Chains A and B, each alone.
Chain A
Amino acid sequence: MRTHYVVCCGLVVAVLCGHPSRGFAQTSGEQALRQEIDQLRSALADIQRQYGERLAALEARLGAAPTPPAAPAVPEQAQTPAAEVPPGAAGAGGPTGSLPIYGAASAASKIFNPDMAVIGDFLGAAGHNEVSPTPPLELHEAETSLQAIVDPYARGDFFVAFSPEGVEIEEGFITFPTVPGGLLVKVGKTRAAFGKVNTLHNHLLSWTDRPLVTNNLVGREEGISDAGISVARLIPNPWLFLEATGEVYRGNSELFTSSKRADLAYVGHLRGYYDVTENANIDFGGSYARGHNDAGVVDDVDVGRFVTDLWGVDATVRWRPLQRAIYRSFLGRSEVIWSRREQPGGPQQSIGYYASGDYQFARRWFAGVRYDRSGRAEDASVHDSGQSLTLTYWPSEFSQIRGQYRRIRYAEESTANELLFQFQFSIGAHGAHPF
């Protein structure tokens, strides 16, 4: 290889040096000069050809080796990575031409990174509660969301909750939005479509806590959240929005316990929505859930084969004048839930409900009330009841400070009077506001 290089260089030097010297010798012979040039051209072409042949022979000899051809890589490396100026930016005082991308490959890969956000949920409590005390100060949860479009057919969503109890995948699912038949299919771990509160992440609630009925009958904070498949379809009709959802879960959540592969949990939900005026609307639904419970489990074996059935109805009234939408709004909501839990000693049938109202009286201020009453799933003969007042302040769309006075009369004849407060803050991508 080196010999070729030397020969080549020598030839170039000879051409450069030889040409003018001969030019001096035959200044009058233009034709001779041309001939000379032609000769040199053909000599160069010969060398090129020879070189090419030898290279081809060498490549053929190395043919078996998996090394990719080096030639195309060279111009790519030599190029400075660049991005186009966004359309329309030209002339707006912004940069023109190509914009450099720093960090080349890594910067290009960021384009496909999912939208990321972290929502911090800091809770505090004062007062006394003997039945269900919470820490005086706690970073209750840091919810990380990673969301992106997977391909032309699906999108992916992950919500990972970091809390003092550990790390948990709150939700992680793929959504197929355009399955034939008008179906919306979700596969993964999701919060089940049972009523309203069960579907909502903590930061979307109007309170610092969850209602008593959720805690007593629907599996506490985690609720029905499980690995499964959800299929939803709109039901066409001329009057209102109607959506039916059917879900099948593995059967392991705070509420259900599955000890056999066949012990799945089922959730069904029917949601109706109607615009009363452009400012007001009603949203209502009915839900059903069924799965095995842990009452009959002895040493990991479900000897009792006990089942829990849950029925729920929910209704939401919203008012928000369009032209003053950022200053005034009202949301009234209620859920009633019946639980039938089979257990040793006979089934327990309990009922629980909450009713709440939240009024936004300024751009950054909300005030709310909630009334709670619920039996207990394991013991229908007792019930808890409570009242709450909330006041919420939004410094911006991305943070929120909330205070809640809560009074609960527990079945144990104990009354809890508490002042709860919460700081919530969101960093990262601007997620859509759910309705």
Chain B
Amino acid sequence: MILTKSVLTAAAVSAVVLLAVAPAAAQGRLNVITTTEDLASIAREVGGDRIDVEAIARGYQDPHFVEAKPSFILRLQRADLLVVVGRDLEIGWLPPLVQQSRNSKIQIGADGYVDASLRARILDIPQGQITRAMGDVHPLGNPHYWLDPDNGKVIARAIFEKLAQRRPGDRVFFEQRLNDFNGRIDAAEKRWLAMMAPYKGVKVATYHRSFSNFADRFGLDVMGYVEPRPGIPPSPQHTLDLITEMKRQNVKLVLVEPYFDLRTPNAVGRGTGAEVLVMPPSVGGVKEVTDYFKLFDYDINLLITALRKVGAAPQ
């Protein structure tokens, strides 16, 4: 018995010694991990080749329901910066990953934890009493705020400030890239607004509340949702109500995120004669959308083609 005990003690001691060997500190380029591909694209714009960027969630994946896979822990362990969408979008999967990352730099409140939403323009902040009877409601407002190019600039600035703080020597480089990005966004936004101008006020229905900021910026009027409440799957009664309301208001477009089932939206389309569009709300949502600019290019072209097809005019 004594022998067993001493063997156990020796094993425990050697395990502790083995476990205590510190990992080599990361050197060289800043390692930036973002939760979504949109943030990764913006981070790439600002950081250029002086940072490594990787996103956790894919653009064609529902960002509310990402699995907290242990392989993400390994990526977070090496991260210098973690950029998150915030507003509770990642509440269902990010906290355990951050906690298990053993990385003090990216813990909530630490220097390397960047909540990109802090200065963004946030819509749909619920008023009055908030309960789950409202579905999976976000008490801090709609987290899909990156679909407004102005918020893209806000996100870029938040990332820039953190990069400049971490690499003061590269501040000028990052600042030039930030200014360049802002300039290109401004120019592109003018173009996008001009393209969408003839359709200002056109009514659309969407599956989830992913397009509030997009609609707000580009003048669409979201009149209803395929989901009866955020995060609650469609019900027959709600679908019928939506069809009736869409017919009444002569709504000719249903926008669906790539990760939702098309059965109910197609039924709505058949019931109303509306066009059902699978419209990516994120970079990587479809193959062609490889960066933040292409996201708006793709979505706006898709919308305009469909609007022309259904002959929609502002109400």
> Interface on A for B, CB 8 Å cutoff?
86-89, 91-92, 94, 149, 152, 155, 175, 177-184, 231, 233-234, 236, 241, 243-244, 246, 248, 266, 268, 271, 273-275, 278, 281, 283, 290, 305, 318, 320, 322-327, 363-364, 396-398, 427, 430, 432-435
In the assembled complex, the Cα of A233 lies from the Cα of B132 at a distance in Å of 38
* A433-B68 in contact (CB<8A): yes
In the assembled complex, the Cα of A179 lies from the Cα of B23 at a distance in Å of 12
Q: Report B-chain residues with C-beta under 8 Å of the C-beta of A94.
A: 125, 127
| Contacting residue for A322 out of B12, B58, B92, B98, CB 8 A | B58
In the assembled complex, the Cα of A385 lies from the Cα of B270 at a distance in Å of 52
Q: Report B-chain residues with C-beta under 8 Å of the C-beta of A175.
A: 99
> Interface on B for A, CB 8 Å cutoff?
1, 8, 12, 15-16, 19-23, 58, 60-62, 65-71, 73-74, 77, 88, 91-96, 98-104, 107-110, 117-125, 127, 132, 135-136, 140-141, 145, 231-233, 258-259, 261
* B231-A396 in contact (CB<8A): yes
* A184-B100 in contact (CB<8A): yes
The residue in chain B whose Cβ has the minimal distance to the Cβ of A92 is B123
Known pairs A92-B122, A320-B67, A396-B231; A325 contacts B61 (CB<8 A): yes
B228 to chain A, nearest CB (A): 11
3 A-B pairs with the lowest CB-CB distances in the bound complex, closest first:
A178-B104, A88-B122, A233-B19
Besides A177-B104, A181-B19, 13 other A-B contacts (C-beta < 8 A): A87-B119, A88-B119, A152-B107, A183-B102, A233-B19, A234-B74, A246-B12, A246-B15, A281-B71, A305-B1, A396-B135, A430-B91, A432-B93
* B69-A92 in contact (CB<8A): no
In the assembled complex, the Cα of A290 lies from the Cα of B15 at a distance in Å of 16
Q: Can you give 19 contacting A-B residue pairs, CB < 8 Å?
A: A86-B125, A86-B141, A88-B122, A89-B141, A92-B124, A94-B127, A177-B98, A184-B102, A234-B74, A244-B15, A273-B71, A275-B71, A281-B69, A281-B71, A325-B62, A325-B66, A398-B132, A430-B92, A434-B96
Q: Report A-chain residues with C-beta under 8 Å of the C-beta of B231.
A: 396-397
In the assembled complex, the Cα of A87 lies from the Cα of B145 at a distance in Å of 13
In the assembled complex, the Cα of A326 lies from the Cα of B258 at a distance in Å of 12
* B16-A246 in contact (CB<8A): yes
| Interface hub of A182, A266, A427 (most chain B Cβ within 10 A) | A182
B249 to chain A, nearest CB (A): 21
A405 to chain B, nearest CB (A): 26
* A88-B108 in contact (CB<8A): no
* B74-A177 in contact (CB<8A): no
Q: Report A-chain residues with C-beta under 8 Å of the C-beta of B73.
A: 234, 241
Q: Report B-chain residues with C-beta under 8 Å of the C-beta of A271.
A: 70
* A325-B65 in contact (CB<8A): yes
Q: Report B-chain residues with C-beta under 8 Å of the C-beta of A180.
A: 22
Secondary structure at chain B's binding surface: helix, strand, loop or mixed?
loop
In the assembled complex, the Cα of A177 lies from the Cα of B103 at a distance in Å of 8
Known pairs A92-B141, A180-B22, A430-B91; A241 contacts B15 (CB<8 A): no
* B259-A236 in contact (CB<8A): no
In the assembled complex, the Cα of A398 lies from the Cα of B137 at a distance in Å of 12
In the assembled complex, the Cα of A365 lies from the Cα of B77 at a distance in Å of 35
* B22-A241 in contact (CB<8A): no
Q: Report B-chain residues with C-beta under 8 Å of the C-beta of A236.
A: 23
Known pairs A182-B102, A325-B61; A273 contacts B141 (CB<8 A): no
In the assembled complex, the Cα of A246 lies from the Cα of B17 at a distance in Å of 12
| Contacting residue for A177 out of B70, B99, B122, B232, CB 8 A | B99
In the assembled complex, the Cα of A290 lies from the Cα of B7 at a distance in Å of 13
* A363-B233 in contact (CB<8A): yes
A317 to chain B, nearest CB (A): 13
B145 to chain A, nearest CB (A): 7
* B95-A432 in contact (CB<8A): yes
Known pairs A92-B141, A323-B61, A430-B88; A273 contacts B69 (CB<8 A): yes
In the assembled complex, the Cα of A248 lies from the Cα of B5 at a distance in Å of 13
In the assembled complex, the Cα of A177 lies from the Cα of B70 at a distance in Å of 15
The residue in chain A whose Cβ has the minimal distance to the Cβ of B24 is A236
Known pairs A94-B127, A236-B23; A273 contacts B70 (CB<8 A): yes
Q: Report A-chain residues with C-beta under 8 Å of the C-beta of B109.
A: 149, 152
| Contacting residue for B23 out of A182, A290, A435, CB 8 A | A182
Q: Report B-chain residues with C-beta under 8 Å of the C-beta of A231.
A: 16, 19
* A433-B141 in contact (CB<8A): no
Q: Report A-chain residues with C-beta under 8 Å of the C-beta of B121.
A: 88, 91-92
Known pairs A231-B16, A434-B96; A177 contacts B107 (CB<8 A): yes
* A89-B125 in contact (CB<8A): yes
Q: Report B-chain residues with C-beta under 8 Å of the C-beta of A278.
A: 58
The residue in chain A whose Cβ has the minimal distance to the Cβ of B98 is A177
* A323-B1 in contact (CB<8A): no
In the assembled complex, the Cα of A62 lies from the Cα of B232 at a distance in Å of 66
In the assembled complex, the Cα of A320 lies from the Cα of B62 at a distance in Å of 12
The residue in chain A whose Cβ has the minimal distance to the Cβ of B102 is A182
B279 to chain A, nearest CB (A): 14
Q: Report B-chain residues with C-beta under 8 Å of the C-beta of A88.
A: 117-122, 141, 145
In the assembled complex, the Cα of A180 lies from the Cα of B94 at a distance in Å of 22
A321 to chain B, nearest CB (A): 10
Q: Report B-chain residues with C-beta under 8 Å of the C-beta of A178.
A: 102-104, 107
In the assembled complex, the Cα of A155 lies from the Cα of B77 at a distance in Å of 18
The residue in chain A whose Cβ has the minimal distance to the Cβ of B20 is A181
* B60-A323 in contact (CB<8A): yes
| Interface hub of A231, A248, A274, A397 (most chain B Cβ within 10 A) | A397
B234 to chain A, nearest CB (A): 10
* B60-A322 in contact (CB<8A): yes
* B58-A363 in contact (CB<8A): no
A289 to chain B, nearest CB (A): 12
In the assembled complex, the Cα of A320 lies from the Cα of B93 at a distance in Å of 15
| Contacting residue for B259 out of A241, A323, A430, CB 8 A | A323
The residue in chain A whose Cβ has the minimal distance to the Cβ of B15 is A246
In the assembled complex, the Cα of A234 lies from the Cα of B231 at a distance in Å of 35
B65 to chain A, nearest CB (A): 5
* B60-A181 in contact (CB<8A): no
B211 to chain A, nearest CB (A): 15
Known pairs A88-B117, A430-B91; A241 contacts B102 (CB<8 A): no
Known pairs A246-B16, A432-B95; A241 contacts B65 (CB<8 A): no
A288 to chain B, nearest CB (A): 10
The residue in chain A whose Cβ has the minimal distance to the Cβ of B213 is A92
Q: Report A-chain residues with C-beta under 8 Å of the C-beta of B135.
A: 396
The residue in chain B whose Cβ has the minimal distance to the Cβ of A394 is B233
A275 to chain B, nearest CB (A): 5
